[in-house]
Structure 1
Amino acid sequence: MQKILVYSFLFLLVLTGCSSVIPDNPTAKTILKEDAQADILQLDQLIYIKVADQESLKKGNFIKEDNIGKIKKTTTSTLFFKDFYATKLPVGSEIYATNDHDTYTIIVEIDGKQILYKALVEG
């Protein structure tokens, strides 16, 4: 009985010690806690933030490709922030994949204007 308790304790200790090694990607809650005015959206459980320097889009470094979907809700509430929710983008804004699939970049189009967003990924 005592061995079982010792092994169980060691197992839990290893399990909790390893969990802190795996980085978590930022959530809407963590981003908006730091900056309540952040221009973000969620897609595939990743938070994307508006790229401050839109020059790479203007230079043609990123080209819009397949349509991914549309913004379903505009909200700053972090409670149940879901895929296709955004803090600043209007409902119906079109989301597109880009030609650069490795950098987690997407393009949002509003009234013909394209805006570049980049995923916030840890690790």
Structure 2
Amino acid sequence: MQKILVYSFLFLLVLTGCSSVIPDNPTAKTILKEDAQADILQFDHLIYIKAADQESLIKNNFIRGDKIGVIKKTTTSTLFFKDFYATKLPIGSEIFATNNHDTYTIIVEIDGKQILYKALLEG
């Protein structure tokens, strides 16, 4: 019985030690805490930020692919920030995949203008 308790304790110790090593991707809360004016959206549980260099849309030949959704809510509240929520984009803005199926780069189209957003990933 004592061996079981010791092994259980060691297992829990290893499990909790390993979980802290795995980095988490940024959340709306962490991003908006650093920059309350950040232009972000959430899709597929990832936070995307408006690319500073919109010219990369042209340079890297990003072309609008399949539609993946629309913005459902515009908010700066980090409480329950969900997929298809954005801080600056108006409700109804269409979100598209890119032609090269880069899941970490998406295109938002507003009034015919295409805007590039890049995923914020940890590590």
Identity of aligned residues (%): 89
Q: How does 1:20-59 map to 2 (within 5 A)?
A: 20-59=20-59
User: Are 1:119 and 2:119 an aligned pair?
Assistant: yes
In the alignment of these two chains, the number of paired residues is 123
Aligned match of 1:7: 7
Normalising by structure 1, we get a TM-score of: 0.94
The question of whether the paired residues in 1 share the 8 Å contact of 2:23 and 2:122 is answered with yes
Task: Evaluate the alpha carbon distance shift between residue 7 and residue 63 of structure 1 in structure 2; reply closer, same or farther with a 3 A threshold.
Answer: same
Which region of structure 1 is more displaced relative to structure 2, 50-59 or 88-97? 50-59
Question: Which stretch has the larger CA shift, 100-109 or 66-75?
Answer: 100-109
Whole-angstrom CA distance in 2 between matches of 1:90 and 1:22? 34
Match of 2:98 in 1: 98
5+ long unaligned stretches in structure 2: none
Q: Is 2:97–2:103's contact at 8 Å kept on the other side of the alignment?
A: no
Structure 1 unaligned blocks of 5 or more: none
Q: Displacement, 1:103?
A: 5.7
Give the CA RMSD over aligned residues: 1.3
In 2, distance between residues paired with 1:99 and 1:45? 21
- State the secondary structure of the residue aligned to 1:37: coil
Q: What is the SS of the residue equivalent to 2:117?
A: strand
TM-score if structure 2 supplies the norm length? Answer: 0.94
